[in-house]
Structures are given as C-alpha cells and as structure tokens.
Structure 1
Amino acid sequence: MGRERATALLVDFDGVLRRWDPTVAAGVEREYGLSEGVLTEIAMHWGRLQPVLTGRVSHADWMTSVSDALTDSLGDPERARAAVEQWQRYRGEVDPEVLDFVREARAGGIRVGLGTNATDLLDADLDALGLVGELDVVVNSSKIGVHKPAKEYFQAACEALGTPPARVLFVDDEDRAIRGARVAGLSALRWSGPADLRYLRAALAY
C-alpha cells in the first residue's frame, strides 16, 4: 500500500533554498594569508557549531570563538576578527528555481515550511534575502533547542506545519537529515539540484 500524498513540504535552507559561492570564502582566505577552507573548518567544528544550532550561544558569540581560534593561525587578533567579519558579510544567495517552486507549491495549496539548522541570525538573513513572507512557517533549530536529524526536530516541524508526518515531504541535501526525517515518519528526498524539482512536482501533484 502506497503512502498518502503529501500536503505539506519542508525544505532545507542551506544547500537547497540558499546557495553559497565558495569563491567568497576562498578570496578572504587568500587576502589574509590563510589556508584554503580554514574558515569553514573552524566554524563547523562540531563542538563549536552544536551550541549555536541549539540556541545555547548566539551567532555573534560563535563568530567570536571562530576569531579566537583563527588567531592561532594569524598570530594577530585584530586581523583574525577582520577576516571573520569580511567573510560573514556575504550571506549567500537564493536559488531562484527553488524559490519559484516554493511559490508555485503554495499557490497550489501546499503548505511550505523552512526546516533548517540555523542560528539566531536566521530572521535577519531571511529579511536580507527577501524571503520574509515566502514560507508558511520557519522551523529554526536554535529557537526550538533541537537540531536535525533528531526525531524531535521533525515532530516540531510537523506540528508547526499543522500536518501529520505521513503527509509531509522533506527535502534536504544531507543524508543524515534525510534518514532522520524518515525515522520520524516523513517522506524525504535527498536533494541533488534543481533537476529534482520535476520529481517533487509529481510527488506533490498540486
């Protein structure tokens, strides 16, 4: 027996709706004489990242910890702070094809939520990228205190959407998140790019 047709969509932010140009970070690293990829490596260290994703520390405090760690490479706290500030000015770009799809799905009666592991800077980012009002709900890990792929995260997201898990289709570019969603009872698609939109349209059948 097949699954019920999804009536709600939960979309990841980074890697799906928002994309990042890797040359921006690379340019900052070259300018400051840093090794390639070091900014992301430091920032994404799980011991540093997990507290900000669950709202235990602020985005600003997280970036301060990145600057402090970077000082070990540069030997100059002011240059480390300047490098991190320059890197952080770039807030990514909206994928226009995905945004068009979100608008199309909502117009077709599908509730669409943003399901993201994010910091307390998310609302400002959504505003800066012109995304305020483009989604029915925003489920930010730092606000609810739990992050993907935890079952509790997806339960909270389904509650926010007002839709049972079996009727929610989740889209993410990370395998761990996809597995977590399926454990929580959602259907899920591992995002590989806009070519997947054809499948999503068919699955939602709006």
Structure 2
Amino acid sequence: MTTSAPSATARPFDAVLCDVDNVIRFYDSTPVAELERAAGLPEGTTASVAFHPEQLDPLLLGKTTKEQWAQAVADRLGDGFPLSGPRARELAGALARSPFWADEDVVSALRGVRAAGLSLVLVSNAALDLGEDLAAMGLEDLADHVVNSALEGVAKPDPEIYSIAAGLAGAAPERCLFVDDHRENVEAAVALGMTGVHFRGPEDLRGALAFLDR
C-alpha cells in the first residue's frame, strides 16, 4: 500500500530506498522452533528475547557483534527460563544462524529499478555482517549503495538514516520512494517528504513501481 501519492509525471521518482529484512530477505524459523519444542518452550520464545530492544539495539547500532548478541540472548534465556547453559546457547546460536533466502520476485523488481536508470539504495537496520549476507545471496551488486544501521550508528525510524540514504542516492526526499515492512519506518519517511510503501508482499512493490512499465 502506498501511503502518499506520487506526482503524475512520466518519472515520479529518482531513487528507490528499500528495506532488506522481510522485504528482500526472509528467514527460516523451523530449526529454532524445533529446539524450542524439545526444550518445552512456546514457539517464538527465543525471538521474543532476542528482538527485545535491550538485546537488539546494540546489535543494530554496531555496538556488538552477532556472536556477542547471541551470547547475551543465551544469558537472558538461562536467567529467565528453566534452561541449562548449553541448551540456552544452542537456542541462541540457532537463531543467529537461521537460514535465509532472497525473494526472487522482489529482487527482479528491484533490478528493474536500476535498469530504468533510477538509483537503488538498501536501507537496513542490520548487524555488521549484512554485506556478507548479501554476498551469500548473490546480491552484492543489487543496489547502488547499502546503508546499514550498524555501520552508520543510527537506525530507522531516526530521520538521519533516511537523509544518509537520500544523499547517497543523489535525490531530494520528495523524489524518493521508500519501501519497508514496518509501518513506523514508512511513516517516518513520509514525514520527510518521501513517498512511502508499506510492504506486505511483492504486489505492493510491483504496484508502486508500475510507472516503470509505462
């Protein structure tokens, strides 16, 4: 769903700024869920601990590595649940190593952005190893630039990270299309004058990029 309408021109945008996780990249939670069942924990327990801001924010701001994050998650699991140290570390490690893949429909649509001459910038709240993960998916050349919160020290929805991305794209905010699966991140982009797309599936992206086919 597009939350603000682009102007009716042949080329309404000069740049597309796009999130990574849950837009391009998706994770397989099956290994963690199986370990949680074996440990007698409700499915999703590990993620609820790991993605609490107290645990997650240092990772996304580059203040800790993924290995340090996993250890902190294991410590919290061991303290808050009837788990042995080895079982807690197994769960945290499995989450940190969750298999992931790229949605080929989304990747194809984004490759079309650059083919049409628009700038594409990935804007992600991610760990320090995002570049390695993109390479593992064969996407190191997908975008013109990658803005990673862990490297910039600032994360969405802070306005600064949007300004960094627009600057790298060489585009004014009102000429940027911003795509993200979190509504608050989209709303922050719209507040800066960008056109925001709340991503819930590839059809949302295809709809926003329909102007490329005209």
Tell me if structure 2 keeps the 8 A contact 1:20–1:93.
Answer: yes
Residue 44 (structure 1) shift: 0.9
Contact persistence 1:29–1:35 (CA under 8 A): yes
Task: State the AA in 1 paired with 2:150.
Answer: S
Partner of 1:48: 55
Q: How large is the Cα RMSD of the aligned pairs?
A: 1.9
Give the structure 2 partner of residue 84 of structure 1. Answer: 92
Residue 182 of structure 1: aligned partner: 190
Where does residue 97 of structure 1 map in the other structure?
Answer: 105
Q: What's the CA shift for 1:62?
A: 1.2
Once structures 1 and 2 are overlaid, which stretch shifts more, 179-188 or 140-149?
A: 179-188
State the aligned residue count.
206
Structure 1: 5+ residue runs without aligned partners?
none
The residue number in structure 2 matching 1:200 is 208
Alpha-carbon shift at residue 85 of structure 1 (Å): 1.7
- Cα distance, 1:23–1:143 mapped onto 2, change above 3 Å: same
The offset of 1:166, in angstroms, is: 1.2
Kindly indicate whether residue 161 of structure 2 is the aligned counterpart of residue 149 of structure 1: no
Which residue number in structure 2 is paired with residue 134 of structure 1? 142
Aligned CA distance change for structure 1 residues 50 and 62 (closer, same or farther; 3 Å)? same
1:93 shift after superposition: 1.2
Where do 4+ consecutive residues of structure 1 move more than 4 Å?
A: 203-206
Cα distance in 2 for partners of 1:142, 1:2 equals 31
List per-residue Cα deviations over 1:6-45 (Å, max 9, x = no partner).
1110111111011223434322312333221111100111
SS at the partner of 1:158? helix
Aligned mates of 1:26, 1:38 — CA distance in 2: 9
Measure the CA separation in 2 of the matches of 1:12 and 1:195. 15
**What is residue 18 of structure 2 aligned with on the other side?**
11
Q: What is aligned with 2:44?
A: 37
Secondary structure of residue in 1 paired with 2:209:
helix
Shift of 1:148: 0.4
AA in 1 matched with 2:199: W
Task: Report the equivalent of 2:124.
Answer: 116
| Aligned 8 A contact 2:13 2:175 in 1 | yes
Deviation at 1:169, TM superposition (A): 0.3
Q: Distance in 2 between matches of 1:32 and 1:121?
A: 29
Contact 2:66 2:96 in 1 (8 A): no
Shift of 1:128: 1.6
Code of the residue aligned with 2:110 in structure 1: it is V
Shift of 1:92: 1.6
Secondary structure in 1 matching 2:105: helix
Contact 2:197 2:205 in 1 (8 A): no
Residue 197 of structure 1 aligns with an amino acid whose one-letter code is L
Contact kept? 1:6, 1:203, Cα under 8 Å: no
Q: How far apart are the structure 1 equivalents of 2:6 and 2:132?
A: 40
Change (3 A) 1:81 1:2: closer
8 Å contact 1:6–1:204 — kept in the other structure?
Answer: no
